[in-house]
Chains A and B, each alone.
Chain A
Amino acid sequence: MSQVLDTPPPIQAPADDLKALAARHGLSVSGARPSLPEYVRQLWARRHFITAFATAKLTAQYSEAKLGQVWQVMTPLLNAAVYYFIFGVLLGTKKGVPDYIPFLVTGVFVWTFTQSSIQVGTRAISGNLGLVRALHFPRAALPISFCIQQLQQLLFSMAALVVILLCFGVPVSASWLLVIPALVLQFTFNAGVAMIMARWGAKTPDIAQLMPFILRTWMYVSGVMWSIDKLTKKDHLPHVVMVLLQTNPAAVYIDLMRFALIDSFHAKQLPPHVWPIAVGWALLAGLGGFIYFWKSEETYGRG
């Protein structure tokens, strides 16, 4: 490496003057975190990107399949068919729940929405480092966009669900309109949790390996396949466990959806104070998750 010696020494510039020069012309430090209101403004400015990215991901999913977008409805229908086969035909279990198949399928679809939002949220930053390192945008756009993609997926599932409900003789009623507030609240909750997970996942990608186990445990305690109401009616459970089961956000959103859609699922089967709890979880996770995610904005995709 004698060549290196032949070249002139590196140029050194005086540091103080450069700082003063930058200050005089109002230059800002590159890559600094914006204030919270500014961040919200930037995010709002990118709203079209957020939705376009979600839709693009969704359509890209089945673009190589011959049936194409038909799979958007086929996949949830097939899912439901599998559950019907196992629980309705093989096990023949109704567990004392009227309209068990609609009960089960509603639970599965609504749970899947929360589960996959959290899963994609965990990988929202760590799985898209290329994008994060190439372009400037508020990083919260990624977890939110992925949650919107899951919401779009759920809407396709809901279309399949309506078919199933009608097949099982569940009447159409005005209470179906309650689906809208329930979905808005659940989406807010999901997006919040997804943002929290995105920050953790960005720092420690290993979390993505743990999530399947945590989520499966959460699913089993959330009454996806059984009725929490039946369990809590018995007296042998400690009070703490009962309260935990009833305030579990996943269970709350699942039961709200069942209440909205299935006529044999009565208001008295809902946990007490269900709407305030649903709103509380949405606000807590949504706002808290957003602020928590923003706090670390400048570190995503670096190092």
Chain B
Amino acid sequence: MAEQSEQIQQTTHRTQQTGQIMQSERIPTVVADGVDIVYRINGTGSGRGSATAALNRIMRRKQAEKAAGVRRVHAVKNVSFVAYKGEAIGLIGTNGSGKSTLLKAVAGLLPVENGHIYTHGQPSLLGVNAALMNDLTGERNVHLGGLAMGMSREQIKERYQGIVDFSGINEKGDFITLPMRTYSSGMAARLRFSIAAAKDHDVLLIDEALATGDRRFQVRSEERIRELRETAGTVFLVSHNNNSIRDTCERTLWLERGELRLDGPTEEVLKEYEAFTGDKSNKTAKKPAPKKAA
């Protein structure tokens, strides 16, 4: 009963937006069920970092977390939502409201305190950064990053040219054969995104990735995300750039202080959010305000 009404509520959101996906075809890919996430941080409290506090912590590990100076930060509080195949969902909220934490939990990289997260296949964060090495050439990093994401050697060979072309690294000369430490930060970010986006993901989680690179690359990235959504499944996008959310996602979750405040069509949620943050610019600011030259 309640579930039906939930589904109906969800579909009404969507039919206004796309209307192309029938209710019968809606397959859930991520189900978050009353999720709580709590961080425990060592070395806080009165005896900050002192030897006695540390000893105390080791001796009385479980009995007295608080006395031993372990602080608990309740980052996500009782969040529930259902994401469906073919959806692109934006996650918005002010800094420190738990967006990235929630993404990491969906990816299975952070434990949940209460509740459950069910997923279809293995959701992956769009992030190969950690596997890449600055001292190696871009070419070797494409291979390494691809392998790290679980692609086979043949797949990488097949998509190698596509990755390089998409990144646009070679537009200004043969840079792909240079070590990555010689790249500008924008170039490196573009290559990282290109590697990460080369794999077909069941559920793709993107954390502010679109903020990198120049405008031309951002447009290309948004296109690629739309492609991924069609071929793969569900895309989650965390961004502080409301326009990028507007261009990419038709549904948006608004997290504030770890709580899910709103879940609905992007336009409605963004309107509330912009009212909340006091953003007057609204739609008129298609381009980010030009920064003063240093």
A residues with a Cβ closer than 8 A to B are: 3-4, 6-8, 10-15, 17-22, 25-32, 45-46, 48-49, 52-53, 56-57, 59-60, 63-64, 128, 130-137, 298-299, 301-303
Contacts and interface: CB of A to CB of B under 8 A. Distances in A.
Given A30-B108, A302-B109, A7 B272 contact: yes
Contacts of A8: 261-262, 272
Interface string B101-131: 0001111111100011111101111011111
Interface in B1-48: 2-3, 6, 27-34, 39-40
B148 A137 contact: yes
Given A17-B2, A30-B117, A136 B263 contact: no
Contacts of A46: 147, 150
A53 B146 CA distance: 11
Contacts of B130: 128, 130-131, 133-135
A21 B27 CA distance: 10
Contacts of B136: 56, 59-60, 63
Nearest to A17: B3
A54 to B, nearest CB: 11
B261 A10 contact: yes
B33 A19 contact: yes
Given A46-B150, A60-B136, A30 B106 contact: yes
Given A7-B262, A18-B31, A31-B108, 10 more contacts: A13-B6, A19-B33, A21-B82, A25-B27, A26-B120, A27-B30, A29-B119, A133-B104, A135-B131, A136-B108
Interface in B207-221: none
A56 B125 contact: no
Interface of B: 2-3, 6, 27-34, 39-40, 77-78, 80-82, 104-111, 115-120, 122-125, 127-131, 133, 135-136, 140, 143-144, 147-150, 152-153, 179, 256-257, 259-263, 272, 276
Contact of A30 (B28, B40, B80, B119): B119
Which of A3, A6, A11 has the largest number of chain B CB atoms within 10 A?
Answer: A11
A15 B31 CA distance: 11
Given A52-B143, A60-B135, A29 B150 contact: no
Interface of B, secondary structure class, is mixed
A28 B118 contact: yes
Nearest to A20: B3
Given A17-B3, A46-B150, A53-B148, A10 B78 contact: yes
30 contacts: A6-B276, A10-B78, A10-B259, A10-B261, A11-B261, A13-B6, A13-B33, A15-B80, A17-B3, A18-B33, A22-B116, A25-B27, A27-B29, A29-B117, A29-B118, A30-B123, A46-B150, A48-B147, A52-B143, A53-B131, A53-B144, A134-B129, A134-B130, A135-B127, A135-B149, A136-B107, A136-B124, A136-B150, A302-B109, A302-B110
Nearest to A64: B135
A63 to B, nearest CB: 4
Contact of A60 (B78, B124, B133): B133
A266 B130 CA distance: 49
Given A11-B260, A53-B144, A45 B150 contact: yes
A31 B109 contact: yes
B3 A25 contact: no
Contacts of B40: 303
A15 B133 contact: no
Contacts of A32: 108
A298 B108 CA distance: 9
A14 B3 contact: yes
A73 to B, nearest CB: 19
A233 B185 CA distance: 64
Nearest to B33: A18
A218 to B, nearest CB: 25
B259 A27 contact: no
A27 B149 contact: no
B3 A134 contact: no
B28 A134 contact: no
A302 to B, nearest CB: 5
Which of A31, A137, A301 has the largest number of chain B CB atoms within 10 A?
Answer: A31
Contact of B118 (A30, A130, A136): A30
B135 A3 contact: no
A30 B122 CA distance: 8
A12 B123 contact: no
Nearest to A301: B109
Given A130-B130, A134-B125, A135-B130, A52 B111 contact: no
Contacts of B6: 13-14, 17
A1 to B, nearest CB: 10
A10 B110 CA distance: 23
Contacts of A6: 276
A48 B256 CA distance: 42
Contact of B128 (A27, A45, A135, A298): A135
